[in-house]
A and B are shown apart, each in its own frame.
Chain A
Amino acid sequence: MTAIPLDQGLGLAAALFALGLAGVLVRRNLLFMLMSLEVMLNAAGVAFVVAGARWAAADGQIMFILVLTFAASEVSVGLALILLMHRRNSTLDADANYHLRG
Chain B
Amino acid sequence: MHELLWLVPTLPLLGSVILMLGAGRLSIRAEAATGALSVGFAAVIAFTIAGGFLLSPPAGAAYEQTLWRWFDVGGLSVTIGLRLDPLSLVMMLVITGVGFLIHLFATEFMEGEEGYGRFFAYLNLFVAAMLLLVLGNNFLTLYTGWEGVGLCSYLLIGFWWRDPANGLAARKAFIVTRIGDTALLIGLLLIASRLGTLNIAGAMHNAAQSWPAGSPTATLAAFLLLGGAAGKSAQLPLQTWLPDAMAGPTPVSALIHAATMVTAGVYLIARTHVLFLLAPAAQYTVGGIGAATLLLAGFSALAQNDIKRILAYSTMSQIGYMFLALGVGAWGAAMFHLLTHAFFKALLFLSAGAVTMRLHHEQDIFKMGGLARRLPVAFWSFLTGSAALAALPLVTAGFYSKEAILSGAWADGNSGRVLWAAGVFGAFITGLYIFRAVFIAFFGEAHTEVSGRYGWRVILPLTVLSVLSVLGGLIELPPAFGHVTLLSNLLAPVLPATKEAASVVPLLVASLAGLLGIGLAAVLYWRPARPPAETPLWRFWHAAAGFDWLYERLLVRPVLWAARAGADDMIDSVYDAIAWTARQVHEQVRRTQSGRVRLYTAGLAIGSISLIAIAMIR
Residues of A participating in the B interface, judged by any CB pair closer than 8 Å: 21, 24-25, 28, 33, 94-95, 97-102
Contacts and interface: CB of A to CB of B under 8 A. Distances in A.
Contact of A94 (B593, B594, B597, B602): B597
B594 A98 contact: yes
Contacts of B535: none
A21 B605 contact: yes
B595 A98 contact: yes
B453 interface: no
B590 interface: yes
A101 B593 contact: yes
Interface string B595-618: 111100110010000000000000
B593 A102 contact: yes
Given A94-B596, A94-B597, 7 more contacts: A24-B601, A25-B598, A25-B602, A28-B598, A95-B596, A100-B593, A102-B590
B595 A100 contact: yes
Contacts of A24: 598, 601
Contacts of B605: 21, 25
Top 4 A-B pairs ranked by shortest CB distance? A102-B593, A98-B595, A101-B595, A100-B595
B595 A94 contact: no
B588 to A, nearest CB: 13
A98 B599 CA distance: 11
A101 B602 CA distance: 16
B221 to A, nearest CB: 64
B58 to A, nearest CB: 76
- Candidate in A21, A28, A97, A99 with the most chain B CB atoms within 10 angstroms: A21
21 contacts: A25-B598, A25-B601, A25-B602, A25-B605, A28-B598, A33-B598, A94-B596, A95-B596, A95-B598, A97-B595, A98-B595, A99-B595, A100-B593, A100-B596, A100-B597, A101-B593, A101-B594, A101-B595, A102-B590, A102-B593, A102-B595
The secondary-structure label for the interface of chain B is helix
A94 B605 CA distance: 17
A21 B602 CA distance: 9
A18 B590 CA distance: 29
A99 B594 CA distance: 9
Nearest to B608: A21
Contacts of A95: 596, 598
Nearest to B600: A100
Contacts of A21: 605
Interface string B579-601: 00000000000100111111001
Contacts of A28: 598
A20 B594 CA distance: 23
Contacts of A101: 593-595
A7 to B, nearest CB: 15
A25 B608 CA distance: 14
Contacts of A100: 593, 595-597
Contacts of A33: 597-598
A17 to B, nearest CB: 10
Interface string B288-301: 00000000000000
Given A24-B601, A25-B605, A98 B590 contact: no
A98 B594 CA distance: 7
Interface in B78-106: none
Contacts of B595: 97-102
A98 B596 contact: yes
Contacts of B597: 33, 94, 100
A15 to B, nearest CB: 15
B247 to A, nearest CB: 56
Nearest to A101: B595
A28 B598 CA distance: 8
A99 B605 CA distance: 22
